[in-house]
Amino acid sequence: MGNAQCFHGLFQQYNTNKQKNKHTKEKQVVDKFQLVTVSVLLLIKFEFESAASATTMAAAKAASGVPPSLSAKVIGYVVRKVDDFFEGISAEKQAISLLSKLRNEMQTDKPLLELKDDLPDTESWNQYMQRQQNQLGDQEPVSWFKSPWLYVECYMYRRIQEAIWLNPPINNFDFFNEGKTESFFESQQAVMALCTYLGDIQKSMETLSENQLSECFNKLLQVSLWGNRCDLSISAGQKNSQKASPIDSLNSLQSFILVDDSNMVWLTLNSCRRSEGSGKKTADRVDIVLDNAGFELITDLVLADFLVSSGLARQVHFHGKCFPWFVSDVTANDFQWTIRQTMAANHKWMCKSGFQWQSYLKEGLWCYHDHPFWTQPHEFCDMAADAPDLYATLQEADLVLFKGDLNYRKLTGDRDWPHTVDFSTALRGFEPSALCSLRTLKANVQVGLQPGQGEKLTSQDPSWMTNGKYAVIQFQSPKLEKNRPQD
């Protein structure tokens, strides 16, 4: 539910002028809470994250004795001034209390706690915790420093959601909304340039040769790839937008793509299109597992528009998150809001794109899903067992595009793989369909490189796996695996 809907539900009882005044006052109170809480949540995350390794929280033990950092000061200030900020509204006080408790648990390696809310995924989360406990044994409880980093990072966001959910009337707010909307508005020049480029392609679509169509596809695929740099969970929620034309930047970025399987992606889509009249039963469908709202979402929508308007796909299915996740991830509200804002733009091609996207949704050519599995800690190799309905949904697609760093970590299990391990090996049997990861590197896991490539990168740029400068377009298909030559 978005902010507008939530405000409506929260204040609908105030109908008289006096009640409307109270409505305004309480809205200001909640706005203050939102402003402070965003800072608290982000600083909690980054204090915790700074001590973490790519695969385990063991290294965080060294940080447990560090004096309270800025996040502690911020929370302390909020707790001391809670009455000034929230004028006695108890829900906000309780949420801040739960967040403060969460921060303390993370700093002091407390045991992880079962969730107590009544959201649909609560039982699944608690079962996953028991699974972790079974792997650890009975000697010690599952805790922040003794658990896989992928698990505890996801668990942290779920606990943040619990703190909000348990405290109506703020339980439906997206406290990361401001950063996501700012990213969209600050990228307007780039959005307009991208929509204009799409419009120019579509005007001449019928006259494009196959080579020209392939060139356009590769450009938009790379724009979607580099749009992934706009990640608020990596930038601590600071401004992280796209100002320049993304098309004009592609040539200078080409050398930073470490693995480029874009030709395999093109061949997969084009072969489906060629088989249309052959009697073969095919969904001719592309699924996009989304990452960030803001400019990156626009790049995904433009790519999806091109796929449908060019005939490379009949349908595009988008997969987002059920609730605010990793600061900037796309929720249903973000998805709908972005299309509405694009429709309302005072720019010919941007506005036209927005209306076209809304039409795709109404006609069923585009669909949006938000399965709970995407906001759980499972590695994707567990999907067939833990979310068979979602796995079956992905099997209906001809191609699944996985956007971003977290999806890559879940695809590969966030393990410390040698850089030369095949992408197919790291997937560990996850093959619902042909798939492609579009990812700018922001975490210490990367597979599928050539021998010596990782070592060369480390010598040239020691932070190459985490600074967002490098990217991969990595493809894998069950058909490709079957046809792979045997050694």
Render pLDDT for 438-447 as a digit per residue (tens, 0 to 9).
999 999 999 9
Mean pLDDT of 310-335: 96
The CATH number linked to 312 is: 3.40.50.10880
More confident residue, 11 or 325: 325
Q: 12 and 144 share a domain?
A: yes
In a domain, 77, yes or no: yes
Mean pLDDT of 221-246: 68
The pLDDT assigned to 169 comes to 76
The pLDDT assigned to 90 comes to 76
In a domain, 172, yes or no: no
Mean pLDDT of 207-220: 96
Helices (H), 282-325: 295-309
Examine the fold and report which residue of 140, 165, 190 is the final residue of a domain before the chain moves on. 165
Model confidence at 19: pLDDT above 80: no
Q: 461 and 374 share a domain?
A: yes
CA dist 265 and 270 (Å) reads 9
With cut-offs at 50, 70 and 90, classify the pLDDT of residue 280: very low
**Directed axis angle between helix 3-11 and helix 17-49, to 10°?**
130
In a domain, 487, yes or no: no
Over residues 114-143, the pLDDT tens digits come to 999 999 999 999 999 999 999 989 889 999
Backbone angles phi, psi at 309, to 5 degrees: -70, -25
CA dist 272 and 284 (Å) reads 6
More confident residue, 147 or 382: 382
The pLDDT assigned to 10 comes to 27
Examine the fold and report which residue of 135, 165, 195 is the final residue of a domain before the chain moves on. 165
Q: 157 and 276 share a domain?
A: no
Closest CA to 103 of 53, 62, 63: 63
Q: 281 and 388 share a domain?
A: yes
Write down the mean pLDDT value for the chain.
82
CA dist 91 and 276 (Å) reads 56
Model confidence at 425: pLDDT above 50: yes
- CB atoms inside a 10 Å sphere around CB 199: 16
Q: 127 and 250 share a domain?
A: no
Q: What's the pTM?
A: 0.84
With cut-offs at 50, 70 and 90, classify the pLDDT of residue 21: very low
CA dist 100 and 94 (Å) reads 10
Three-state DSSP at 437 gives strand
In a domain, 396, yes or no: yes
Model confidence at 154: pLDDT above 60: yes
Over residues 387-423, the pLDDT tens digits come to 999 999 999 999 999 999 999 999 999 999 999 999 9
Domain range spanning residue 95?
3-165
Q: 153 and 204 share a domain?
A: no
Length of the chain, in residues:
487
Percent of the chain with pLDDT over 90: 61
265: which 2 tokens?
A: 């992606």
DSSP class per residue in 219-262: HHHHHHHHHTT--TTTTTT------S-TTTTHHHHGGGEEEE-H
Q: 182 and 147 share a domain?
A: no
Examine the fold and report which residue of 165, 185, 200 is the final residue of a domain before the chain moves on. 165
Over residues 55-113, the pLDDT tens digits come to 444 434 333 332 233 334 334 433 444 444 444 467 777 877 888 888 889 888 999 99
Q: 115 and 253 share a domain?
A: no
The pLDDT assigned to 14 comes to 29
Model confidence at 31: pLDDT above 90: no
In a domain, 327, yes or no: yes
Q: 257 and 232 share a domain?
A: yes
The pLDDT assigned to 70 comes to 31
Q: 335 and 449 share a domain?
A: yes
More confident residue, 304 or 486: 304
The pLDDT assigned to 231 comes to 53
With cut-offs at 50, 70 and 90, classify the pLDDT of residue 43: low
Q: 114 and 181 share a domain?
A: no
Q: Are 294 and 178 contacting, i.e. CB atoms less than 8 angstroms apart? A: no
In a domain, 170, yes or no: no
Q: Which of 230-244, 354-368, 371-385, 433-447 has the lowest mean pLDDT?
A: 230-244
Q: 84 and 182 share a domain?
A: no
- Domain count along the chain: 2
In a domain, 171, yes or no: no
Q: Which of 14-23, 247-256, 466-475 has the lowest mean pLDDT?
A: 14-23
Percent of the chain with pLDDT over 70: 75
CA dist 163 and 225 (Å) reads 34
The pLDDT assigned to 145 comes to 87
In a domain, 386, yes or no: yes
The pLDDT assigned to 163 comes to 86
Q: Are 450 and 469 contacting, i.e. CB atoms less than 8 angstroms apart? A: no
Mean pLDDT of 354-377: 98
